[in-house]
Chain A
Amino acid sequence: MGWSMGVGKGIERIDVLQKVLGNCLFAGDIRMEGMIFGVVVRSNRPHPKILEIDDKAAWEVPGLVKIITHKEIPGRNRFGVLRKDQPYLAEGYVRYLGEPILLVVAQDERSARRAAKRIKVVYQDLPIISDPQEARMGTPLHDGGNLLTQKRLIKGNWDKGFEDSDVIVEHHYVTHFLDHAFLECEAGVGYMEEEGQIVIISSTQNIHYKQKEVAALLNMPESKIRVIQATTGGGFGGKLDVTVEGYVALGVFHTKRPVMVRYTREESMLSNTKRHPLSIWYKSGAKRDGALTRVQVRIVGDTGACLLWRGGGPEGLSPCNRSI
């Protein structure tokens, strides 16, 4: 009668005791001997070419251990669930405000953040497209063009107009980027085991996908990468994409030491994937009694700079277009 054991019964979460005692470890709570700290340096321009990176001032901060750019990436500098189109670290140009450019690793968080602030990047702004409609006609920023996908859904007599309608309502609606705003911001700790295996403990909703991505990033076999989900403080879909795991992995790979990367709320909101904003043209026709006669909808979704599950940064450059 195993199936009746849970149905209709109140069952305690297996970790609820630790949670009310306060002793469960979220990724940011983990402390390891010799642990050092990584901070991602991000672009403060939406779409520039990177002309020069000057890290001299950063190296004056005592405690700086390593600076990692895309050149130090041993494997594939691209990740993404549906398409591998997002760089971990920018290669020569930036596609969205907040795109990571390099990773700074230092003895402690304060030194890492200080050093990160001192990195000087020389940008040359390129013209930006931030409207999906414009992007349809604009310069392709992605292989295969800026149009991600287009779907048509047609039912019924689509060549009949609104003649049968007693009432027609037509509006243009707009929805916004939405952040998941999980209470615990992204965080992860990684370390290297004796045989060279890299273990990453992070705030995440999935582990197998991230194991594959990190293996590809480091050009290491999947059997040498282990991803463990720490107690996670909310995800709601926003921790399905690779967040800190790649940077933790790079830090560990290059320093051989335990590395923590954790985002502040500002970093989280800047870097996290968002729900697509949609532009919706909606025309409905109905009879007086409320029966709908015809509905005509055109929705243009802004996928942002890159794809992932839904999109990358806040500046939309590659649109998703659906027509009904």
Chain B
Amino acid sequence: MLPKFKCVVPRSIKEALTLLSDNECKVIAGGTDLLIELQHQDIAVLLVDVTKIPELMWRPEDRPFLISPLYTHGFVAGSAMIKDTFPSLALACSKVGSPQIRNMGTVGGNIGNASPAADSIPPLMIYDARVRLISSSQERELPLEELLVDAYKTQIRKDEVIASVSITPLQNYRQGYKRLTIREALALSRLSVAYVIKEEGKRWLDVRIAIGSATPVCIRARELEEALSGELKDLDLLNQAIEQTILRIKSQVNVRESHRFKLPILRNLLREILWGGAWE
């Protein structure tokens, strides 16, 4: 059972931001993460439901490269436009939880909750997502990589709301999202890789990889990206670059039991994505 709390549903962004600056609040969008969290709590909290704020909602056609924080995972997965322009994001959102979760859970909520296993975050990262935050006193924009600080921790201040997420589309890239789960649905990603790759003949032109669920915060595999982008395709080079990434993951995280299976699988996933078929 949920503890007793008050919930306000502001009808304008101004109303919402005033509430956030005047009170100790928690923002609720879909609520699929928050309501579970609240079940274990006893403290009274003021919830501010942001789903009816018109300034936070628009159609993809009207603002093509700007993701509304109120887009549900289901909406992103089903939008022809987003599937076309940002296939890695649409694919990732289509895997979240279950249909019922996808019909309520939002991208804004996914970012704000900042779970290490959040599915929308790796694709947003490879599309160089920038997050706009607004409060009643200021507006600011941060790269998603900077916004996420630690597992379940972001730079979002108590009086701020995610207003939009801007991402950059890429033409002629191979784009996708792979994740490791213990079952096909209602499963958290144990490991995930979002990728966009531009190739021409025997050369990698541009490689971008984001890895989720291996570290407290999703990471761009920059050492791998730099090592491969522009280079002739070579298996030794690839393997070396992968090892750099593995080393970095290990250095970021103290001994993690799950790494015993995650890291070998990550190696194979990256080889599969970048080399294709048999690599041995």
Contact = CB atoms under 8 A, between A and B. Distances in A.
A113 B42 CA distance: 12
B39 to A, nearest CB: 10
B43 to A, nearest CB: 14
Interface string B1-42: 100000000000000000000000000000000000000000
Contacts of A113: 1
A265 to B, nearest CB: 11
Contacts of B1: 109-110, 113
B54 to A, nearest CB: 35
A226 B1 CA distance: 32
Nearest to A266: B39
B70 to A, nearest CB: 30
Interface residues of A, number: 3
A109 B1 CA distance: 9
Nearest to B4: A110
A110 B1 CA distance: 7
Interface string B113-125: 0000000000000
A268 B103 CA distance: 29
A219 to B, nearest CB: 34
A113 B1 CA distance: 9
Nearest to A117: B42
Interface in A98-129: 109-110, 113
B101 to A, nearest CB: 17
A40 to B, nearest CB: 15
Nearest to A113: B1
A303 B52 CA distance: 54
Nearest to A264: B1
A71 to B, nearest CB: 29
Interface in B138-181: none
Interface string B198-219: 0000000000000000000000
A92 B1 CA distance: 30
A235 to B, nearest CB: 23
A194 B225 CA distance: 80
B228 to A, nearest CB: 44
Contacts of A110: 1
B44 to A, nearest CB: 13
Nearest to B2: A110
A117 to B, nearest CB: 8
Nearest to B3: A114
B119 to A, nearest CB: 25
Contacts of A109: 1
A110 B42 CA distance: 13
Interface string A199-225: 000000000000000000000000000
B175 to A, nearest CB: 39
Interface in B214-271: none
A113 B3 CA distance: 11
Nearest to A109: B1
A113 B2 CA distance: 11
A22 B1 CA distance: 24
B261 to A, nearest CB: 19
B112 to A, nearest CB: 26
Interface string A127-144: 000000000000000000
A255 B1 CA distance: 25
A63 to B, nearest CB: 14
A66 to B, nearest CB: 21
B4 to A, nearest CB: 9
A92 to B, nearest CB: 30
Nearest to B42: A117
B5 to A, nearest CB: 13
A314 B215 CA distance: 33
A109 B2 CA distance: 12
B241 to A, nearest CB: 41
Interface in B43-99: none
A119 to B, nearest CB: 15
A158 to B, nearest CB: 42
Interface string A166-197: 00000000000000000000000000000000
A197 B1 CA distance: 33
A106 to B, nearest CB: 13
A206 to B, nearest CB: 31
A2 B1 CA distance: 52
A16 B123 CA distance: 46
A263 B1 CA distance: 12
Nearest to A110: B1
A290 B192 CA distance: 44
Closest 3 A/B residue pairs (Cβ):
A113-B1, A110-B1, A109-B1
Interface of A: 109-110, 113
Interface of B: 1
3 contacts: A109-B1, A110-B1, A113-B1
